[in-house]
Amino acid sequence: MSRLGETALVLFSGGQDSTTCLAWTLANFGRVQTIGFRYGQRHAVELECRPVILAEMRKRFPEWAAKLDEDHVLNLGIIRELGASAMTHDIAIGMGDAGLPNTFVPGRNLLFFTAAAALAYRKGIKTLVGGMCETDYSGYPDCRDDTIKALQVALGLGMDRRFVLETPLMWIDKAATWKMAEDLGGAPLLDLIVEHTHSCYIGDRSHRHDWGLGCGRCPACTLRKQGYERYCAKREGRLPA
Ligand code: ZN
């Protein structure tokens, strides 16, 4: 069923995944709003990437420019106040308690979706889109499909309003995320993602690689790099598609 008559709200951080989700939403919905969060993240530079990405989207894809509506940035500083993690404090990235990486921020995605749904309620928007992925981040319990489905039900009940939480990347790996970008927007979108999106956990944008800017060593850079290399290998026939 076409949803070109509908508006969707995209959780847009300025990273590779949420930018790919933004493109997916622009291809599938009639109007698109975006929301980002300032929560004391170490890689707050991603917030500076967001307006650049939006401007490049408008410039490179005129048909999408007509659909791109309001952008919102909300302050969720409470996440940092609740306690230290390697995502919000200058702590070495490694394994933490319960077999989870210490980049895990308890409740982060739950708060993001709850805040986004509260805004969507006021705007009359039914569909929320997020880049959560069970395949790559199986360590993060708030990226799991069951969590998102349960949250969809909870938000719907709690606001007495039907919400649909879409997660187009849930079951694909990072190589397939690059391929999805290629399918949605070809070379102009791939180039935009390489050049302007930010993934590096420690906020480094001083080192340039084929796959973008970042330290090249943190878990987020490693995931992005390995995905890009597998995507290129498949594209060039060195790995089966
Ligand atoms: Zn990095």
Looking up residue 30, the CATH number of its domain turns out to be: 3.40.50.620
Residues found in the chain:
241
| Structural domain containing residue 23 | 3-195
**Rounded to the nearest whole angstrom, what is the distance from the C-alpha of residue 161 to the centroid of ligand 1?**
39
Could you give the CA distance from residue 155 to residue 3 in angstroms, rounded to a whole number? 21
Q: Specify if 137 maps to a domain.
A: yes
Q: Is residue 210 part of a domain?
A: no
Domain presence at residue 53: yes
Q: How many CB atoms within 10 Å of residue 112?
A: 23
Contact 142, 110 (CB under 8 A): yes
Question: What is the pTM (predicted TM-score) of this model?
Answer: 0.94
Tell how far the Cα of 195 is from the centroid of ligand 1, in angstroms.
Answer: 15
The rounded Cα 66 to chain-centroid distance in angstroms is 22
Q: Who wins on pLDDT, 94 or 49? A: 49
* Domains held by the chain: number: 1
Residue 37 lies in a domain: yes
Contact 123, 76 (CB under 8 A): no
By the 8 A CB rule, do 25 and 3 touch?
no
* Residues with C-beta atoms within 5 A of ion ligand 1: 200, 214-215, 218, 221
Residue 204 lies in a domain: no
pLDDT tens per residue across span 150-209: 999 999 999 999 999 999 999 999 999 999 999 999 999 999 999 999 999 889 999 999
Q: Is 201 within 8 Å of 15 (Cβ atoms)?
A: no
Q: How far is the CA of 239 from the centre of ligand 1 (A)?
A: 26
Å from CA of 214 to ligand 1 middle: 5
Task: Give the chain's mean pLDDT.
Answer: 92
